[in-house]
Amino acid sequence: MDNMNDELTEKVLKLKKERNAVILAHNYQLGEVQDIADFVGDSLELSQKAAKTDAEVIVFCGVHFMAETASILYPDKVVLLPDIHAGCPMADMITAARLKERKRELPTSTVVCYINSPAEVKAESDVCCTSANAVKVIESLDNEEVLFVPDQYLGHYISTKTDKRITFWPGYCPTHARIQPQYITGLRQEYPQARVVVHPECRPEVTALADEVLSTGGMCQYAKREDVNQMIVGTEIGIIHRLRKENPGKKFIPASEQAVCPRMKLITLESVLWSLQEMSPQVRVPEEIRLKAKAAVDTMLKVV
């Protein structure tokens, strides 16, 4: 680490203590941000951490829906998102108004919403899920008919694992959509010993080629297995930092160097420091929406 980062890190850690704050970071965050976090994880792990922390302030280094989820669970805590422009483009592919319309067309379906969605959409849903628990959540439902929003590719992946009849929403992740099946086949030839592990947000043609389809947290656990020495990683490339740090000596090959989520990268050491100094930007969900959204998140947390 250079002197500049050392200095910033020192300031962040000092202020974090003074503010009684905890820093949570998603696996896609810049390495410099992951390295100062109290906890690094996937969406499910981060929401579980948020639900348990004693800190008064949560600095959420991730994207907007993740900070919102923390605020939905704990409205009395101050939730900081160090850059307010860090939104998830997939979450922006659905609105509560459009979901309400769709629900009128499909009145007998249970609405399952991926956690990558705005609080208003969660409020209109019966239950949430993350990439780590999606199949389990859908299998836990009594209803055979499901409207799954907003990720059509995750929805498609779930449909290969369950007999439920799933109607998809046409959303997708632009970052994962960049990973093409020919990248996987090319890398398999180059690294015949490597396991191919991809995120369920990838295109069906890509998940069909993988040895394992896992959440980012699942990928981190899988990488630690003794029989895994080389891994072709089909997800956002920020995770490579953590994989290499936790598994020195093992080889991690990104499926595509272009799989970068630009919004995740808006958060830097500087923006973390500024947000702790200013106690801003804060993410808060209006109470009426929060209570309804919380019911969907709580139902999910009871399943896992």
Q: Tell me the CA distances in angstroms from 126 to 101, 133, 181, one per residue in order.
A: 15, 15, 34
Interface mask toward ligand SF4 for 209-248; x: CB under 6 A: ---------------------------x------------
Using an 8 Å Cβ cutoff, are 67 and 57 in contact?
Answer: no
Q: Contacts with ligand SF4 in 264-293 (CB under 6 A)?
A: 264
Task: Write out the two tokens for 226.
Answer: 């003794």
Q: Which is nearer to ligand 13P, 43 or 71 (CB)?
A: 43
Contact status: 181 vs ligand SF4 (CB under 6 A): no
Using an 8 Å Cβ cutoff, are 94 and 121 in contact?
Answer: yes
Q: Contacts with ligand 13P in 85-144 (CB under 6 A)?
A: 116, 130-131
Q: Which is nearer to ligand SF4, 26 or 164 (CB)?
A: 26
> Which listed range, 103-111, 213-221, 226-234, 257-265, lies at the site for ligand SF4 (CB under 6 A)?
257-265
Contact status: 57 vs ligand 13P (CB under 6 A): no
89 binds, among ligand SF4, ligand 13P, none (CB under 5 to 8 A by kind): ligand SF4
- 10 Å CB burial of residue 212 (0-12, 13-18, 19+) is middle
Q: At 186, which helix (H) or strand (E)?
A: helix 181-190
Using an 8 Å Cβ cutoff, are 64 and 55 in contact?
Answer: no
Nearest CA to 231 out of 259, 203, 207, 212 is that of 212
Task: Write out the two tokens for 113.
Answer: 């919403």
Nearest CA to 67 out of 304, 263, 238, 234 is that of 263
Q: Which is nearer to ligand 13P, 89 or 181 (CB)?
A: 89
Q: Which is nearer to ligand 13P, 9 or 48 (CB)?
A: 48
Query: Tokens 């109290």, residue?
Result: 38
Contact status: 33 vs ligand SF4 (CB under 6 A): no
**Quick check: helix, strand or coil at residue 143?**
coil
Q: Minimum Å distance from CB 131 to ligand 13P?
A: 4
Contacts with ligand 13P by CB under 6 A lie at 27, 42-43, 116, 130-131, 173, 201, 215-216
| Residue ranges in contact with ligand SF4 by CB under 6 A | 63, 88-90, 116, 173, 175-176, 201, 236, 261, 263-264
